[in-house]
Amino acid sequence: MERSILSRRNFLGLSMGAAAGVALAGCGSSGPGTASGGGNSAGAASYWYLTGQPGEGIRTNSVNRFNQANPNTKLTATTFQNDAYKTKIKTAIGAGQAPTIIWGWGGGTLRTYAQAGQVEDLTSWFGENAAVKDRLFPSSFGAATIDGKIYAMPAETVQPIVLFYNKRAFEKIKAEPPQSWGDIMDLVPKFNAAKIAPFSLGGQSRWTNMMWLEFLFDRIGGSEVFQAVFDGQKDAWSNPAAIDALTKMQDLVKADGFIKGFSSITADSNADQALLYTGKAAMMLHGTWTYGNMATAGGDFVSSGSLGYMNFPGIDGGKGDVSDTVGNPGQYLSISSKATAEQKETAKNFFKTAVLSDAEVKEWVDSGSVPIVKGTESAFGASKDADFLKFVYNTSANAKVFAQSWDQALSPTAAEKLLDNIAQLFQLKVTPQQWATNMNGVIGQ
């Protein structure tokens, strides 16, 4: 009868239905951009930030405190997972659906917002409110400053990348934590022989691999190697120090330095941390923001003192300063330039009265983080994590150079290319020379 005609119609109908469905779903998801549900006043503002404890809880508490104190100009909070947020916020800003307060990492991404006129210039506001500015670490303003103007309020905590290790694993093979790159390469076969992975790594997230290169580049060639890339110098990635770092990186991969299956592990699931605290891996290069989760999820791992930590060791013959570190000098809150005047006022009031308030500072310290507020060292002594807090504070304060993470410092276009190529480097699919050639192509973009 009509089966074949029906099938064509079905097909068209299905494809149209699917197209409409996708489009409608797209409409539905633009919701949080407006200040809905945050009270009825014109000053009600919205704020997007990241999930993941302990930060999520502390951010939420700050919002709640602010809303209690300001019942007429409430903030509505919406939360997102780390890697998903990076895309979501860009899309929302591009579509004119940005929240009033934009949580971010500063650097290259903030630069694209500033150049497109999407975020407020806060320079004069900081001038009028010197007290707000002066209590924060001066180093935290670098990634908030674009062409001499401040486009974001530094917030939250300083997060250097450090080398974590499992003391129980080191006791098992009767070894000492590495003091040099040579030590690291010597430890690899010893741990592998004991059926412990030398290093945990959430390689699918890619920026996790990048942290290794950041330290290798710095320790071998000094901070000026990446600075040259950042400044847009031609062929800066082909620096001999860079090639040496890339080669050493692949040597470590080839020697089975990383946990089996690292390229399918994501950092968002915290599986990389679980490998360290369950003793399946001996060491992990990661941001200090992982400490809080390891303390809560790792049983007695942290409380029993089994978690060791140190700055990344030096490399024999390297030019870099072993005090240098890299990571997040702070987190950053910007105000959308598309927000109404009342909303902007609410956001500024939030910056002034709620961000890094005494109560919030205490919560960050309790969670094992160092807030970017001057003079908090005195509070560390009372904390159960006093040693770790002092270590993070000293690492950050004593660093000759505190570099911003590469993927945050570079433009999104260059960062994506970088992360892709780093994944290929760890898969041993490109040689150091090919890698440098690929990356030289996007310098300055």
Partner 1 sequence: MALPAFLMFVAFGIIPLIGVLVLSFTQWDGIGKINPAGFDSWRTVLSDPDLIHALWITFLIMALSWAFQTPISLLIGVYLAGHQRYREILAVIYFVPLLLSSAALAITYKALLDPNFGLGPGLKIPLLTQDWLGRDNLALGVVVFVVSWQFIPFHSLIYQSGVRQIPKAMYEASEIDGAGRVRQFFSITLPQLKYTVITSSTLMVVGSLTFFDLIFVLTAGGPGDATRALALDMYKRGFQANLMGPASAIAVILVLVGLALALLLRRLGGRDAAESQMEGV
Residue 333 and residue 62 in contact, taking contact as beta carbons nearer than 8 Å: no
Nearer to partner 1, 203 or 318 (CB): 203
d(CA 17, CA 121): 45
Task: Find the shortest distance in angstroms from Cβ 281 to partner 1.
Answer: 9
Q: How far apart are the first and last CA of the chain?
A: 61
Give the nearest distance from C-beta 123 to partner 1 in angstroms: 21
State which residue, 271 or 322, has the beta carbon closest to partner 1.
271
Residues that bind partner 1 (CB under 8 A): 1-5, 7-8, 10-11, 13-16, 19-20, 22-24, 86-87, 90-91, 93-94, 112-113, 115-118, 203-204, 259-266, 271, 274-275, 280, 411-413, 415-417, 420, 423-424, 427, 429
In the complex, the smallest distance separating the C-beta of residue 434 from partner 1, rounded to whole angstroms, is 12
Rounded CA Rg of the chain: 24
Q: How far is the CB of 319 from partner 1 (least distance, A)?
A: 31
Q: Smallest gap, in angstroms, from Cβ of residue 135 to partner 1? A: 32
> Which tokens go with 308?
């060791």
Quick count: other Cβ atoms within 10 Å of Cβ 305? 10
Nearest alpha-carbon partner for 335 in 119, 79, 127, 93? 119
CB closer to partner 1, 106 vs 314: 106
Which CB sits closer to partner 1, 260 or 374? 260
CB nearer partner 1, residue 3 or residue 234: 3
> Minimum CB separation from partner 1 for residue 152, in Å?
15
Q: How far apart are CA 287 and CA 270, in angstroms?
A: 12
Give whichever of 103 and 312 is closer to partner 1, judged by the CB atom. Answer: 103
145/434 with CB nearer partner 1:
434
**Residue (357 or 424) nearer to partner 1, CB:** 424
What residue has token string 């109908």?
Answer: 13
Q: What is the dihedral of CA 93, 96, 98, 99, to 10 degrees?
A: 170
> Look-up: residue for tokens 């994944």?
423
Q: How far is the CB of 218 from partner 1 (least distance, A)?
A: 25
The dihedral formed by the CA atoms of 260, 265, 271 and 273, expressed in degrees to the nearest 10: 70
Q: Report in angstroms how near the CB of residue 18 gets to partner 1 at its nearest.
A: 9
Q: Kindly tell me which of 39 and 279 has the beta carbon lying closer to partner 1.
A: 279
Whose Cβ is closer to partner 1: residue 209's or residue 404's?
Answer: 209
**CA atoms 401, 411, 163, 253: torsion sign:** negative
* Pick 90 or 167: Cβ nearer partner 1: 90
Closest contact distance (angstroms) between CB of 316 and partner 1 is: 31
CB of 127 to partner 1, least distance (A): 27
Query: Least distance from C-beta 409 to partner 1, angstroms?
Result: 15
